[in-house]
Amino acid sequence: MYLEEMFGLKGKVAIVTGGGQGIGQVVAQGLARAGATVVVVNRNNVHDTVKLIEDAGGTALGVRADVTKEEEVDAALKTVMDTYGRIDIVFNNAGICMHQSTAEMTPADFRYVIDVNLTGIFIVARAAGLIMIEQGIKGTIVNMASMSGSIVNFPQWQASYNASKAGVIHLTKSLAMEWVEHGIRVNSISPGYIATPMSTENPPEMNDAFIRLIPQKRMGDAEELMPTVLAMVSEASGYTTGSDFIVDGGYTCL
């Protein structure tokens, strides 16, 4: 019973952006297993994740929205409020990466990465935070950062991604301090290299280079992020806000 009380999410409504695949899909399923009603927000496909959750006996709703468009985010959250009447948890996960050197990247591409990875995080967090404040809900927001917000990756160059994730970490700390008086906790998670469908798009030699630099000599599995996420969104971390949790197999220790 103690663990259920500390880590259980029964009665909570959780939003997962970028929940249509990869880490977002895994986390959405994990939150559902912990008892939350999960709203899967994605720009395109939401049905696959919803079906996975429902087939496992959970409750889920799919809503399409582009996190860079404020009107679409507002409409998505209105759907959540009209359906469930509350928002307790946001896993703010939607993001992209471009492997381009600064010499190759255009300012337009740079702006696009920042718009999705940082401005999108801000738009979703702000919209959800305002609802939590208005409703008096002591909610929790977990923003998807990356170890790339603390280090520079090699051998690929990705200044835009690194800058966006560093911004997410500091935005997280800023929101945590602004909203602490409302009982809203804001933290971030910084994964290292995680084996997702996206990583299979990399050239094999690039993945091999990643693994050689990871002290544990392997990529992480998305499921290995779930214990950290669950701790952050549950009562188990009630005294934790403004923190960034690195889950990287030891990469950033080097």
Catalytically annotated residues: 146, 161, 165
Q: Are 153 and 169 in contact (CB under 8 A)?
A: no
Q: Are 214 and 251 in contact (CB under 8 A)?
A: yes
- Token pair of 32 as six digits: 């559902």
Distance between CA atoms of residues 251 and 159, nearest Å = 18
Phi, psi of 75 (to 5 degrees): -65, -40
Distance between CA atoms of residues 108 and 162, nearest Å = 16
Backbone conformation region of residue 15, classed left if phi is above 0, alpha if psi is from -120 to 50, else beta: beta
- Would you call 253 exposed, middle or buried from its count of C-beta atoms within 10 A (0-12, 13-18, 19+)? exposed
Of 22, 196, 17, nearest in space to 117 by CA: 17
Distance between CA atoms of residues 151 and 251, nearest Å = 9
Distance between CA atoms of residues 105 and 82, nearest Å = 42
Across-strand partners of 191?
247
- Token pair of 143 as six digits: 């923003």
Beta carbons within 10 angstroms of residue 119's beta carbon: 17
